[in-house]
Structure 1
């Protein structure tokens, strides 16, 4: 547990880091096709892409909790994947993934990207004592493709306004932060992806 001193971090420093007001370039816009129906997704093919900065840990050690958690979460919603392919590459061959989904006769192709990045993040931004901390940020992207023709039925890009990080901040009179585990961070990312997938 860390505690932040009474002076916090000076706004000028936060602005210098490009974190006080945010300077991220806009990502792709969300897409929701009129034909998208969460209830129609029951036997999909799934590609889970876990990429980014793994520090000293092996990529498979990073991706394992994401894979196990995603399968459990989908099963809990009555969605039983025919296949779950896991990739730690930054690129994805959509044509190959679609061909695989068609061979399995899947009813949809789910592309779930979990991208990890180390960066400085400002916490308690709306208080009088915001502070910056080096954090692992998890960006979640969800895409659903129709298997028959590859039509994009759903695209949910990362939510830049509500980032998922490995720090849990308490912004009361005595601000403190807790470093959460990879499993907790993976669980938060999976929960967000499932919420987006099942939203009507």
Structure 2
């Protein structure tokens, strides 16, 4: 019997049977990881109101240096419950200067949420992140962020991001737009 991320394992396999889920938020610099964490915490009632980077009132990036530079300079940890399960989220810095922070964290997570956006300048950084997760055998999902701030279609974005991944990317949701505003999504699963 072994343990990973605090959860007990069963009969020598890697199937997790109990304990809180530990999820790393990773992605290129300024892709919206801290904002996503804030949204998750607000939607699961872990916090009363969603803070913003600009207002310097987020749960993550609370250090004076992070707030002054408006970017993560260290890993930030937050917990929440959702539908009876406990989740620990670790928001990892995306800036190359602080990328070393993610390595020890990734050794103990159950899943990585890779936060990306439709920005071809960030593809090289995204490629490094995805390759590192693949090499470590870490399950991962890609969270396409800032879809409300781009003119690029979801299909074009998927094609752009595919160049960063050695495995096929598959859509789970497609946004519904009305008058250039995202109003919902279609669940493809």
Give the TM-score of the pair, scaled to structure 2. 0.34
Give the TM-score of the pair, scaled to structure 1. 0.32
* More contact order relative to length (CA 8 Å, sep ≥ 6): 1
More strand by share: 1
